[in-house]
Structures are given as structure tokens and as C-alpha cells.
Amino acid sequence: MRTSEEILDGMDRIKFDMLCRYDFKFFCERLLGLTDMGGIHDFQLEWVELAEHSRNCVIEAPSGGTKTEIMGVCYPLWWLWKENKKQEILLVSKTVAQAEGNLLDRIKMYIIDNEILRDRFMPKDKRVVWNTKGIRTANGSTIKNVPYNLNIKGYRAHLIIADEADSYDDTDIYFKHVTSRPHPNGKIILISTPEGVSKLLGMLKARRPPSYSFLKTTALRHKDRTFVKGSEVVTIDDLDRLKEEGCYSIWKENEKFSFEYMKQEFITQGRWSFAQNFLCEIIGESEDSAFQLKDIIKSYESTMSFNYEPNPKAMYFIGADFAISTGPKADYDAYVVLELMDDRMTIKHIETHRGFPRQLKVEALENLYKKYYSPLGVRIVADKTNIGDMIINDLRAKGCTVIPQSFAGVVRLQLLQTLSNVFQADGVLRIPKNPYKMNENKFVDILQEQLTGFVRTKTDKGNETYLSKASHDDIAISLAMAVSEATKMKTTYVRAVSR
């Protein structure tokens, strides 16, 4: 255990306590003993500065770059040190096991192994108030770890730390429950390495709520102190070029994340993973994305939900994409119902199926056709490849209007381009995203992930095309088919309703 005498090193205790309260660097280096690798660095102080002067903040930082240690462990301890009144702190992780091992245990060890911290924070009988779920300090303050799930709505806090926030699966839990947990004047700090534009941090950056501040820290900085972008590191030679231009590691040379270390990691990880882990950028999902997250989000309608109630003044289009293979990694059959009314398109329903034989595919689509019957028309736009032709014939035999859909290269490009244009147009497409409809939102979240997975690229012949980096694209393709046909039928719809 570090003794008081060792920590103070001859300094007056009153002065020491005051410096700890107002100087985070001094608190960490002198009281906590964080002196390895040069102690507290400028980029870490930038995180603290942002947190101190923001209502809520989002901090993106390199993998292994101490963001959890500094903001998830040291900052909560400093918060308790400088606050004279009782405080409540929540440590949020994807699972409770992560919070226990990654955050709470490290906070406990700092206190237990430090005589000054023990005297200030540890109660007389810690057995009653120190456990795997949380601790209570001598003045009644609490630090609790909680998993990222619906149960978080049972807690309140002055400070909420969301560790590796981009790994959280259901973003609706954050917007519906986590954001309502701070006490008045409390704050939320989200720390993470980005995992995808459709994840939580990507959604927050797309929405830019006025109460949030954002900071992206990368492992490399230009000599003017601006951070290096992922687009600046295409080949390993770019690292040497950047170094020659005066670029430097935030950890300083010969320490963590030196240029030589990062060159080895570039070779090991490849450009995309290197850009994500060291430069906090998802390559392709920013400059090359076919569907911008901000455009997708603006189409969401929180007061709407899926329903089977057709409007006689609307037309309906059912996009049907059929799985072309079997097995656990195969696509699903995906059916998307789109309503066209008053020059606006609204998703009314999404469903997916895996392993349906031909007869069940036909029955499922016939059922949707009947449910959304309208005097102005219902059309099924069906994938005609492979088994699709037979399904189309079966549906026509049952009296359904079916439009065969080809997926030749140029046709597929046109489908996705039309869908992209519709998303960019204000107010044309509406997608129900009711926070109380969790089952529906799962389909919407999958659609969002699939859409943001499409990137613009070039074929070997130099022609533009769209490549999907997502594991599946079935719901997105079904929507594209329905939207494309609805776009073609707009003139017919206007003529029909004006009679």
C-alpha cells in the first residue's frame, strides 16, 4: 500500500488536498501514482476538460489508449474527491461482468492500496457496503456498476460513465432510458472506440443533440495539433510520409503507439481495422457511404408504428427478396410493405423468414397482399431470380398483381440509387421508430445496419456500383424494390386520387 508519507513527499497536506481538487494531472500522478509512460498526457487532459465543461460528452479514442482507465476509473475518483456533498455514480458496461472487472474493481484497488484514499473514502465496515455491484464511501456517496439493459431505469446518478458505448446492441435503451437517469445538472460521459456508423456513437454524431459535446482523439497528430484522419493513411508508406511531415504520436515517440509499433499494426490489421482502432474512423462509412446515417435518422417517426390497416386512398407495394442459399449464414426471405399516399412513402410492415419452402413463401405474400388490399392497387415486387419465377407464377395464379424484379448489375445499381435519392429528399420516406415498439425496432435497426453497409465503389471496368459490407442486405433490397416501383407509380397514383 502507498503510504501517506510516500504520497505527500514532504508537501503540506492542505496544499496537497487543494491541488488534488483543482488539478486532475496532479491528482492522478501524485495521489494515484500514474507515472508510467510519461504520466498524464495532453490528450487525456483534453478529455477531462471536455467532460468538465459539457453537459454530456462523447469521447472517441484509440483501442488500448487508456480511455477506460482515465475516464472510467480515474475521473470518477476525482469527481468524488472534489465534490463535498454526497454523489451517485453509475458505471455502465455492455454486461455486468465487464463493469465489475474493468471499472469497479480498479476503483476499489486504487482506494484499498492508497492510505490517503482509504482514509477519505473507505467506511468503517466495508463488508456491508462493498460488493461486486457497487461501493458506498464514508460520506455516503455510491459507485454502482450496471449492465446496459432495461433495468437501468431503476437507477439515478449525478455522473454516468458509459464504457465502450459503441458496443451496446440496442440503441433505443440509451435514448429511452439512460438519457433520463441523470439527476438535475448531472452528466453522461460516453467513451469508446467506434464500431460502426449505425451504432450508438454514430447515431449521436448524426443527431448532434445540443446538450452533447464531441471529441475524437486519434493515435497520430499533425504538427499543427490536428488529428490524422483515416483517409490520410491508405498504405503503410503514408505513416513514414506523415512522420517526415512532422506528425507525431499522442504518446510521444518511444512510448506507447510509436510509429514503428503502428506500422506493425497496420501490416497485421490491414487499413480498415487500423483506421478504426487507431484513427477512430470507419473507412467507407463516411465519405463513400451510399446511405448517410443522418438521412436515415431523419426518416424515423417516433409516434408511428407498423400496422395492418390499409387506407383506401393509398397504394401499397410489397418488396419481396428471397434467400438464395441455406444454412446459418444465408440471407432471409424479407418482405417490406410500403404505403404511397399524398406523395409520401411509409413503411407499414417488415417481416423476415428463414428456411420457408416455396408454398409457405407464396402463402405469406398472398396473406400480405390481402391484408393491404386497396381499391387503388396492391403490387408485389418480387425477386425473379432462382426460385422467384415459380413463386411469381403461383402468386399470379391466386390473383395477385406481381412485378418481376431483375437484379442485373445496372438494374441493381438503379434500385439502390433510387432508394438513396428518396432518403436524401426531405419528408418523402417515413419509417416508424416508436420507442415502445421494441420488436418492430429490431427490424428497423437491422434495416439501418444494412443500409449503412452499402458503399460506393468502382468495378474493374471503372463503372460505379454499390458493395455491401453488411452480413446481409435482404431487408434493404426489399425496400429498394418497393420504393423503386412506388416512384414509378407516383403519376398513376396522383391521376387515380384526382378522379
Average pLDDT over every residue of 7-11: 93
Residue that the C-alpha cell 507515472 belongs to = 35
The pLDDT value recorded for residue 171 is 87
- Asked whether residue 372 carries a pLDDT value surpassing 60, the answer given is yes
The pLDDT value recorded for residue 205 is 87
Task: Write down how long the chain is.
Answer: 499
- Asked whether residue 21 carries a pLDDT value surpassing 70, the answer given is yes
Q: What is the DSSP string of 70-133?
A: IIIIIHHHHHHHH--S--EEEEEESSHHHIIIIIIHHHHHHHHTBHHHHHHH--S-HHHHEETT
- Asked whether residue 458 carries a pLDDT value surpassing 80, the answer given is no
Percentage of the chain lying above the pLDDT 70 cut: 93
Average pLDDT over every residue of 450-462: 79
Rg (CA), the chain: 27
Nearest Cα neighbor of 395 from 371, 375, 365 is: 365
Which has the higher per-residue pLDDT, 260 or 287? 260
Taking the C-alpha atoms of residue 474 and residue 378, their distance in angstroms, rounded to an integer, is: 21
- Asked whether residue 314 carries a pLDDT value surpassing 80, the answer given is yes
The pLDDT value recorded for residue 191 is 96
Q: What is the DSSP string of 370-436?
A: HHT--TT-EEEEEE-TTTHHHHHHHHHHTT--EEEE---HHHHHHHHHHHHHHHHSTTTEEEE--TT
- Asked whether residue 400 carries a pLDDT value surpassing 70, the answer given is yes
The pLDDT value recorded for residue 377 is 94
Question: In sequence order, what are the residues at sequence separation of 6 or more whose Cβ sits closer than 8 angstroms to the Cβ of residue 97?
Answer: none
Taking the C-alpha atoms of residue 176 and residue 197, their distance in angstroms, rounded to an integer, is: 20
The b/e string for 36-75 (b: 16+ C-beta within 10 A; e otherwise) is eeeebbebbeebbebbeebebbbbbbbbebbbbbbbbbbb
Residue limits of CATH 3.40.50.300 in the chain: 4-216
Quick one: cell of 138? 464514508
pTM > 0.85: yes or no: no
- Asked whether residue 496 carries a pLDDT value surpassing 80, the answer given is no
Average pLDDT over every residue of 222-244: 90
Average pLDDT over every residue of 272-291: 78
The pLDDT value recorded for residue 270 is 87
- Asked whether residue 43 carries a pLDDT value surpassing 80, the answer given is yes
The pLDDT value recorded for residue 272 is 82
The pLDDT value recorded for residue 472 is 87
Lowest mean pLDDT among 197-211, 301-315, 338-352: 197-211
pLDDT band at 100; cut points 50, 70, 90: low
Query: With 0-12 CB in 10 A as exposed, 13-18 as middle and 19+ as buried, what is 387?
Result: middle
Contact by Cβ (8 Å): 173, 152: yes
The pLDDT value recorded for residue 234 is 83
Taking the C-alpha atoms of residue 483 and residue 349, their distance in angstroms, rounded to an integer, is: 14
Which has the higher per-residue pLDDT, 483 or 330? 483
- Asked whether residue 366 carries a pLDDT value surpassing 90, the answer given is yes
Taking the C-alpha atoms of residue 94 and residue 100, their distance in angstroms, rounded to an integer, is: 11
pLDDT in tens, 68-84: 999 999 999 999 999 87
- Asked whether residue 163 carries a pLDDT value surpassing 90, the answer given is yes
How high does pLDDT run on average in the chain?
A: 89
Taking the C-alpha atoms of residue 471 and residue 405, their distance in angstroms, rounded to an integer, is: 22
Which has the higher per-residue pLDDT, 492 or 499? 492
Average pLDDT over every residue of 147-157: 91
CATH number for the domain formed by residue range(s) 293-497: 3.30.420.240
Q: Tell me the C-alpha to C-alpha distance, in Å, between residue 303 and each of 300, 306, 440.
A: 9, 11, 13
Backbone angles phi, psi at 324, to 5 degrees: -105, 0
- Asked whether residue 52 carries a pLDDT value surpassing 90, the answer given is yes
The pLDDT value recorded for residue 498 is 53
Q: Assess if CATH 3.40.50.720 describes domain 4-216.
A: no
- Asked whether residue 387 carries a pLDDT value surpassing 60, the answer given is yes
Q: Tell me the C-alpha to C-alpha distance, in Å, between residue 372 and each of 309, 339, 349, 353.
A: 7, 9, 10, 19
Average pLDDT over every residue of 280-284: 75
Residue limits of CATH 3.30.420.240 in the chain: 293-497
- Asked whether residue 42 carries a pLDDT value surpassing 90, the answer given is yes
Nearest Cα neighbor of 178 from 208, 209, 205, 146 is: 146
Backbone angles phi, psi at 3, to 5 degrees: -85, 160
Query: With 0-12 CB in 10 A as exposed, 13-18 as middle and 19+ as buried, what is 144?
Result: middle
Which has the higher per-residue pLDDT, 129 or 73? 73
Backbone angles phi, psi at 301, to 5 degrees: -125, 110
- Asked whether residue 283 carries a pLDDT value surpassing 70, the answer given is no
- What does the CA dihedral 145, 151, 155, 161 come to, rounded to 10 degrees? 40
Count Cβ atoms below 10 Å from residue 1 Cβ, excluding itself.
9
- Asked whether residue 289 carries a pLDDT value surpassing 90, the answer given is no
Region of 201 on the Ramachandran plot (φ > 0 left; ψ -120 to 50 alpha; else beta): alpha
